[in-house]
Amino acid sequence: MTQYEGRLRLGVNIDHVATVRNARGGDYPDPIRAAKLAEDAGADGITAHLREDRRHITDRDIDGLMEALSVPLNFEMAATEEMQRIALRHKPHAVCIVPEKREERTTEGGLEVANDENRLAHFIAPLRDAGCRVSIFIAADRRQIDAAHRIGAQVIELHTGGYCDSYAEGDMDAHRAELEKMREMSTYAHSLGLEVHAGHGLTYDTVKPVAAFPEVMELNIGHFLIGEAIFRGLAPAITEMRRLMEDARA
């Protein structure tokens, strides 16, 4: 089977179940329960971001996810020694290296790989050696893709935030330009042998054009699905996202 023939995977990011839980400081709602529900509803993987400030997902959540999940965990983390230690202890299926700033509300941009190549190459080597698939969250930028390839990442995840923001702002020229850039860079990254994922800010309105890229193997979607779960329930929210993804691929 070639890379193109695989089913487009949906990774459900459960960070914001933890955001709601942490608003009251207790145990409810439980992100692990949400992850199991997402699994049953057709998620191909679960994504969770253990931030340095633990503002949503906690170390205990990662322990619980590693124990409870039947589908792969995509562990999002900053390139810090502490996170590397945690990842090496758990050895999740995948680690996705993301930039992290304490003051940001969410992951605002892609990782700067090109200017930090040497450090990142050394940083990801033990993760790869431990059997984790290493993914790098980057902008659709040839320089960053080349650098991700050179440091030995197996996967890149393209940051769809600009594409989604321009749609929300009604700036359709920018929206189309962002989409074109991602289309071109998915093809380019795939030609280098990198597996291509995409995510950040995707909704029912924005998912299909990205899902239609034949090189994209996985979409990681969180905030919108957890929000939509308030209105229609988590399982139906995921089912509808899967339907749109499959439609786009057909």
The residues binding ligand PXP (CB under 6 A) are 13, 15, 49, 76, 96, 98, 106-107, 137, 157, 199-202, 220-224
CB of 85 to ligand PXP, least distance (A): 20
* Cis-peptide into 29, omega within 30 deg: yes
Among residues 175, 190, 197, 200, which one is catalytic?
200
User: Distance between CA 171 and CA 169 in Å, rounded?
Assistant: 6
Q: Is 222 annotated as a binding residue?
A: yes
Residues 6 or more apart in contact with residue 187 via CB below 8 angstroms: 215
| 175 carries an active-site annotation | no
Q: Is 13 annotated as a binding residue?
A: yes
Give yes or no for a contact between 62 and 90, defined as CB atoms under 8 angstroms apart: yes
User: Distance between CA 35 and CA 83 in Å, rounded?
Assistant: 21
| 49 carries an active-site annotation | yes
| 159 carries an active-site annotation | no
Q: How many CA atoms lie within 13 A of 169 on its CB side?
A: 11
CB of 180 to ligand PXP, least distance (A): 21
CB of 1 to ligand PXP, least distance (A): 25
Indicate the residue among 15 and 39 with the shorter CB distance to ligand PXP: 15
Indicate the residue among 45 and 222 with the shorter CB distance to ligand PXP: 222
User: Distance between CA 221 and CA 145 in Å, rounded?
Assistant: 21
Give yes or no for a contact between 194 and 157, defined as CB atoms under 8 angstroms apart: no
Among residues 39, 49, 218, 228, which one is catalytic?
49
Residue 157 DSSP symbol: E
Q: Is 176 annotated as a binding residue?
A: no
* Tokens encoding 58: 């906690």
CB of 127 to ligand PXP, least distance (A): 16
Indicate the residue among 45 and 199 with the shorter CB distance to ligand PXP: 199
Q: Is 187 annotated as a binding residue?
A: no
Among residues 76, 157, 218, 228, which one is catalytic?
76
Q: Is 56 annotated as a binding residue?
A: yes
Indicate the residue among 107 and 144 with the shorter CB distance to ligand PXP: 107
User: Distance between CA 249 and CA 154 in Å, rounded?
Assistant: 23
* CA 153 to each of CA 5, 160, 206, 238: distance values in angstroms, whole numbers, following the listed order: 22, 19, 27, 29
Binding residues for 3-amino-2-oxopropyl phosphate: 13, 24, 201, 222-223
Which residues are the active-site residues? Answer: 49, 76, 200
Known binding-site positions for 1-deoxy-D-xylulose 5-phosphate: 15-16, 51, 56, 106
